[in-house]
Amino acid sequence: MGSLGVRIGVFAATAQILLAGDAVWLSSDGRTNWNFHPAPVVEPWDGTDHRVLEVSPGETRQTIDGFGGCFNERGWDALSVLSETERRKVLHKLFDPDTGCGFTLFRTPIGASDYAMDWYSLAETPGDLELKSFSIERDRKYLIPYIRAALEIHPGSKIWASPWSPPAWMKRNGRYSCQSEPETSRLIWTPEIRSAYARYFFRFIQAYRDEGIPVYAIHVQNEPDACQVFPSCLWTGEEMRDFIRDDLAPRFRKDRLDTEIWLGTINHGDYRKYAGVVLGDPDTAPIVAGVGYQWDGKWAVAETHRRHPGLRLMQTESECGDGSNDHGAGLYTWTLIKQYFEGGANSYLYWNMVLDQTGNSTWGWSQNSLVTVNRFTREVRYNFEYYVMKHVGAFIQPGAVRIQTGGDDAQALAFRNPDDTIVVVLSNPSFNPWTMTIRVNERMIRIQAPAGSVNTVVWPSTL
């Protein structure tokens, strides 16, 4: 398909622009979103030195695995107040590869997250080391319909999973949460419990596979360095190393699972505390397919990439805000996207894709979402962060490579898709429009990025 391979080929005007040899430019600024501007004409480079973004297609960096978000019970519950027709509109705007965000990579919890309707695990009977009580019946009400809806719209999308807490009876404190005594919110460190917990992961993967939902990767624990009032469990780097090496990997080998094991989702900013310990062990490092980072983990991404340049890295949960869903939150999310990809990450996931008008978690923290559904009016609002994620997800294809930028590149990232189209995403966080010159080799275009905007420019593959 040539230039039409970029995932906006369904827009006839876009296809015509690319085929004519001009560039595509669209912007979102919180007031006018997903705004297609007149096609910038690609011209010979004229040597200007005024705000020039230099793009070097031949200088490649990491390969991009994709973009996505997380399935949670409260998201599906909010969608359930809509009619089937309206719900499908929202789902297509999230998952459709031609008209939506085109997400290809998704996270789902194993048991309760902080956005479950209440706390639960998939094996609730204390002492059930053989997991005879294991069941995903509850997931059939919320999570499995949500996941199936995404896979129906965008087949081939990849699902990975992580627990927020083991079953409470497997923990020293006997509770899902971690409250007054942090050191007791840990897995009971006996061979029997560790073996049962490894079996718990296997049973989850098997049960979802039987539902037609393959789980391609497991991250061992959500935020192992955080003691929370919602489901959580503390782990040291040494504990994660030993559990992966001695319990989880042998269980996967025994049951012939090809599911990847990731060190994640790490929320600590010092490489040495988790990745350094796990990847420094010669027996564990070959087992680990990648490292997932979120929150303070953003400070460890670049160091991990520097030390392990071939290892895949994932931003596993975009920072969730305070429920305001405002313009500033979207601009901040763009800075996180830029930081993670410049640090070497291969993928980036948003947290809650859909919430109701309160944004409330089960424990009372109001957080942001891409889409807000008002339970009372049935109004659906696409927040600015939705458009920020669409600016990257709808254009940057899995298998793209990040390419080097220079000059005035403080707010920009650039990628080369498998079809050789060049995608430049840049922000103008100022209160005034910016005239930008974007140079690719010996050609250039000029745009005037609106104040407070995120912009995507797509160059034809003929350059």
Instruction: Evaluate if residue 5 carries a pLDDT over 90.
Output: no
Residues in the chain: 463
* CATH H-level, domain 66-393: superfamily: Glycosidases (3.20.20.80)
Mean pLDDT of the chain: 94
343-398 tens-digit pLDDT = 999 999 999 999 999 999 988 899 999 999 999 999 999 999 999 999 999 999 99
Residue 463 pLDDT > 80: no
Q: What is the percent of the chain with per-residue pLDDT over 70, rounded to a whole number? A: 95
* pLDDT tens by residue, 266-316: 999 999 999 999 999 999 999 999 999 999 999 999 999 999 999 999 999
Condensed to tens digits (0 to 9), the pLDDT of residues 209-226 reads 999 999 999 999 999 999
Cα within 13 Å of Cα(260), Cβ side:
19
Q: Are strands 401-407 and 380-382 parallel, antiparallel or unpaired?
A: unpaired
Convert the pLDDT of each residue in 224-277 to its tens digit: 999 999 999 999 999 999 999 999 999 999 999 999 999 999 999 999 999 999
What contacts 24+ positions apart, CB below 8 Å, involve 128-132? 128/169, 128/196, 129/192, 129/193, 129/195, 129/196, 130/196, 130/199, 131/196, 131/199, 131/200, 131/203
Question: What's the pTM value of the predicted model, to 2 decimals?
Answer: 0.95
Average pLDDT (321-338) is 97
pLDDT score recorded for residue 22 = 79
DSSP state letters, 101-128? ----EEEEEES--TTSSS---S--STT-
Q: Which ranges in the chain are annotated with CATH 2.60.40.1180?
A: 2-62+401-459
Residue range(s) occupied by CATH 3.20.20.80 in the chain: 66-393
Which CATH homologous superfamily contains domain 2-62+401-459? Golgi alpha-mannosidase II (2.60.40.1180)
| pLDDT of 16 strictly over 90 | no
> Above 80 in pLDDT, residue 96?
yes
Predicted pLDDT of residue 170:
98
Helical segments of 320-461, H only: 327-342, 384-393
Q: Given this model, what pLDDT does residue 21 score?
A: 65
Q: What is the pLDDT of residue 165?
A: 98
Torsion from C-alpha of 152, 154, 156, 159, nearest 10 degrees: -80
pLDDT at position 204 over 70: yes
* Assigned token pair, 353: 């894709």
